[in-house]
């Protein structure tokens, strides 16, 4: 454990490793000030001191619609905390904990939300349950009384958001589940505990930290829901974020948009700080150092077993059908897409021809893939360094405030952050030693990096907390230096999380528009901007169909990335890495003994 001795400058510089820490500290201070605080200072000052703050708050309070939308956002966020956890837990447990036939296939289905999201995901659901959707038509054929807009409002938004937001479970809860020491489960069983008792007394309590993080992230996602309420919310269930984004995009209403967005951001911020407090207070992981790999549990009751199988495949269908719909409709014309009618003559290859006949349409895919690789790798390296400081020196206030500052981008939507960066770094700027970043690729990458920081930090930190301190101490006692311990002991444990994060963030960058359009150098075309210019402005009625072709292409690229992270070795990775690490420690022990 870290000693809690008071900070002493003399002792601090006395240690060699602290010079490294000092460099890190200076770097982060510079980075945070230059790219997180300084570009947004004007905006914050405008919001807080322009005198319009009271007016703006009044405007919101007086608007029935805005108040209702805020209320709805909270209702959605709270309900999602329940539903996402239920569905997410089911999805993870049927593939990883219980012995269900075809678990591999099921897992692929449950992971589908890793490769698409936002408007495309909601469109997929709408093809099925929307007013011209296939499922709706089927339903109406059986029950003629079903209203065409049955899939609208609170229930529909919650349904879509629930299935869209289980990604965190599928990645992080799964990782946590694999780190449970199976011996604890065995022991409980030997003492005669039932399946449910084991679940509720042994398994779930061990997973509590993961649940806590995921629940808070789910809450934030619910609060900031955008596509689902816009498309299926109807008049009764609109949420606040679409209003925020509309306001932020207009000069005149920007301050009002910022007020709302800082309000939403502060709630996320407060929740995360609360989570930090809980995490700091208790280090309650019961993860074993010498792990026994988890063995899948057979469900003994045949009735329950059948029920579980049915449920698992039912979930699978819900997850997979929207993806199939998008692929299917990418081969049809716009009329079929908008009216939901499929006939043989609606099928066409024209959409694909249009995209692939022009090199200008697929060159941007490479550009965006490159930008994704660079920026995601950068952000992950940055956050690993930060997490190292935050978790290692958690008793110092400086380390804690580092995290606080790194969460700043969560306060503002991407578009505002980009405008701030562009305005600040367009000319020569003293914070970057007089350089001009505007119009260069560096500013664009910076924009991506800054926007990814909060989520990456949150998830990486959760992974760091799952590491037992004694592992690090053991390595240290054996003579390993701080950096060696980090790269050879800690990193292998969290690598599954890091890779998953890498894949997720990369997939999110592929079609990014708001940041790219503002910060990209003039000669660079990113995929998001290309799609937008091909598909908006309504000039071409077929643009909707073309956007589905792009959706399919992005799903394929994203799917490949996920495959490389997950597909090959799968779950065994985790255990293998741990074994490797233990072997390493033993080897060092021997070396030390030989030296001695």
- Closest distance to other proteins from the beta carbon of 490 (Å): 13
Residue span binding other proteins (CB under 8 A) among the ranges 15-23, 82-90, 178-186, 284-292: 15-23
- Closest distance to other proteins from the beta carbon of 502 (Å): 18
Residue span binding other proteins (CB under 8 A) among the ranges 269-277, 365-373, 418-426, 469-477: 418-426
Asked if residues 406 and 454 have their Cβ atoms less than 8 Å apart, the reply is yes
567 interacts with other proteins by CB under 8 A: no
Among 103, 119, 132, 134, binds other proteins (CB under 8 A): 132
Cβ closest to other proteins, residue 422 vs residue 493: 422
- Closest distance to other proteins from the beta carbon of 154 (Å): 16
Cβ closest to other proteins, residue 49 vs residue 252: 252
Q: How far is CA 470 from CA 21, 279, 477, 514, 534, in A?
A: 22, 17, 10, 45, 55
| Residue 431 in tokens | 């914070």
Q: What is the size of the binding site for other proteins (CB under 8 A)? A: 74
Q: What is the x/- site pattern for other proteins, positions 218-257, by CB under 8 A? A: ----------------xx-------x--xx-xxxxx--x-
| The residue count for the chain | 596
481 interacts with other proteins by CB under 8 A: yes
440 interacts with other proteins by CB under 8 A: yes
517 interacts with other proteins by CB under 8 A: yes
| 344 contact partners, CB below 8 Å, separation of at least 6 | none
Give the DSSP H or E segment for 553: helix 543-562
- Closest distance to other proteins from the beta carbon of 440 (Å): 5
Cβ closest to other proteins, residue 119 vs residue 193: 119
DSSP 344: G
Place of tokens 């690729």: 441
Asked if residues 168 and 88 have their Cβ atoms less than 8 Å apart, the reply is yes
- Closest distance to other proteins from the beta carbon of 520 (Å): 8
Residue ranges of E strands in 457-515:
none
Cβ closest to other proteins, residue 131 vs residue 292: 131
63 interacts with other proteins by CB under 8 A: yes
SS (H, E, C) 222-285: HHCCCHHHHHHCCCCCCCHHHHHHHHHCCCCCHHHHHHHHHHHHHHHHHHHHHHHHHHHHCCCC
Cβ closest to other proteins, residue 102 vs residue 439: 439
572 interacts with other proteins by CB under 8 A: no
| 217 contact partners, CB below 8 Å, separation of at least 6 | 168, 455, 458
Among 402, 416, 518, 554, binds other proteins (CB under 8 A): 518
Q: What is the x/- site pattern for other proteins, positions 349-388, by CB under 8 A? A: ---------x-x------------------------x---
428 interacts with other proteins by CB under 8 A: yes
430 interacts with other proteins by CB under 8 A: no
- Closest distance to other proteins from the beta carbon of 123 (Å): 11
Burial 374-397 (b: 16+ CB within 10 A, else e): bbbeebbebbbebbbbbbbbbeee
Among 60, 165, 220, 453, binds other proteins (CB under 8 A): 60
Degrees to nearest 5, angle at CA 216 with 211 and 222: 120
Cβ closest to other proteins, residue 274 vs residue 521: 521
Residues 532-551 touching other proteins, rule: CB under 8 A, are 532-534, 536-543
- Closest distance to other proteins from the beta carbon of 569 (Å): 26
Q: List beta partners, residue 435.
A: 429
Place of tokens 């380390």: 399
343 interacts with other proteins by CB under 8 A: no
Asked if residues 478 and 589 have their Cβ atoms less than 8 Å apart, the reply is yes
| 295 contact partners, CB below 8 Å, separation of at least 6 | 182
Q: List beta partners, residue 347.
A: 332
435 interacts with other proteins by CB under 8 A: yes
Please state, in angstroms and rounded to a whole number, the distance separating the CA atoms of residues 315 and 320: 9
Please state, in angstroms and rounded to a whole number, the distance separating the CA atoms of residues 237 and 75: 10
């Amino acid at each position: 454990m870290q000693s809690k001795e008071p900070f002493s400058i003399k002792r601090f510089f006395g240690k060699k490793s602290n010079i490294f820490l000092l460099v890190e500290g200076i770097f982060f201070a510079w980075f945070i000030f230059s790219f997180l605080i300084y570009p947004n200072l004007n905006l914050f000052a405008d919001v807080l001191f322009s005198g319009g703050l009271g007016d703006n708050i009044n405007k919101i309070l007086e608007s029935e619609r805005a108040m209702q939308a805020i209320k709805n956002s909270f209702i959605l966020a709270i309900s999602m905390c329940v539903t996402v956890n239920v569905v997410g837990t089911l999805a993870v447990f049927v593939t990883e904990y219980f012995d269900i036939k075809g678990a591999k296939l099921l897992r692929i289905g449950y992971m589908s939300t890793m490769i698409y999201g936002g408007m495309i995901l909601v469109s997929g659901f709408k093809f099925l349950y929307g007013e011209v959707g296939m499922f709706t038509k089927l339903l109406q054929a059986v029950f003629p009384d079903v209203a065409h807009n049955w899939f609208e409002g609170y229930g529909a938004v919650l349904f879509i958001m629930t299935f869209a937001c289980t990604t965190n479970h599928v990645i992080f809860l799964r990782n946590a589940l694999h780190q449970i020491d199976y011996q604890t489960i065995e022991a409980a069983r030997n003492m005669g505990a039932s399946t449910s008792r084991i679940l509720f007394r042994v398994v779930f309590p061990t997973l509590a930290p993961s649940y806590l993080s995921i629940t808070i992230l789910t809450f934030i996602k619910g609060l900031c829901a955008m596509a689902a309420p816009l498309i299926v919310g109807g008049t009764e269930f609109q949420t606040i974020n679409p209003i925020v984004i509309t306001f932020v995009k207009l000069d005149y209403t920007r301050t009002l948009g910022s007020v709302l967005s800082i309000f939403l951001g502060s709630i996320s911020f407060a929740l995360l700080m609360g989570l930090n407090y809980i995490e700091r207070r208790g280090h309650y992981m019961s993860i074993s150092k010498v792990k026994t790999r988890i063995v899948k549990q057979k469900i003994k009751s045949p009735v329950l077993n059948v029920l579980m199988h049915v449920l698992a495949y039912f979930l699978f269908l819900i997850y997979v059908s929207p993806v199939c719909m998008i692929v299917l409709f990418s081969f049809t014309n716009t009329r079929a897409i908008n009216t939901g009618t499929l006939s043989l003559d609606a099928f066409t290859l024209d959409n694909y021809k249009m995209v692939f006949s022009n090199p200008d349409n697929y060159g941007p895919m490479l550009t965006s893939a490159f930008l994704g690789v660079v920026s995601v790798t950068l952000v992950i390296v940055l956050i690993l360094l930060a997490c190292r400081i935050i978790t290692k020196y958690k008793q110092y206030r400086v380390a804690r405030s580092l995290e606080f500052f790194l969460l700043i981008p969560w306060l503002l939507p991407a578009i505002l952050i980009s405008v701030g960066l562009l305005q600040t770094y367009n000319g020569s700027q003293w914070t970057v030693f007089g350089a001009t970043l505007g119009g260069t690729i560096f500013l664009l990458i910076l924009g991506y990096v800054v926007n990814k920081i909060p989520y990456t930090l949150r998830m990486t930190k959760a992974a760091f907390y799952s590491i037992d301190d004694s592992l690090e101490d053991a390595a240290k006692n054996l003579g390993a230096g701080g950096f060696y311990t980090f790269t050879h002991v800690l990193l292998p444990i969290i690598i599954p999380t890091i890779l998953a994060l890498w894949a997720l963030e990369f997939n999110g960058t592929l079609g990014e528009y708001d940041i790219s359009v503002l910060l990209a150098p003039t000669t660079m075309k990113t995929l998001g901007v290309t799609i937008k210019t091909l598909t908006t402005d309504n000039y071409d009625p077929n643009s909707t169909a073309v956007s589905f072709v792009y959706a399919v292409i992005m799903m394929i690229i994203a799917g490949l990335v996920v495959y490389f992270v997950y597909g090959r070795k799968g779950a065994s990775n985790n255990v293998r890495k741990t074994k490797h690490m233990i072997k390493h420690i033993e080897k060092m022990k021997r070396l030390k003994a030989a030296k001695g």
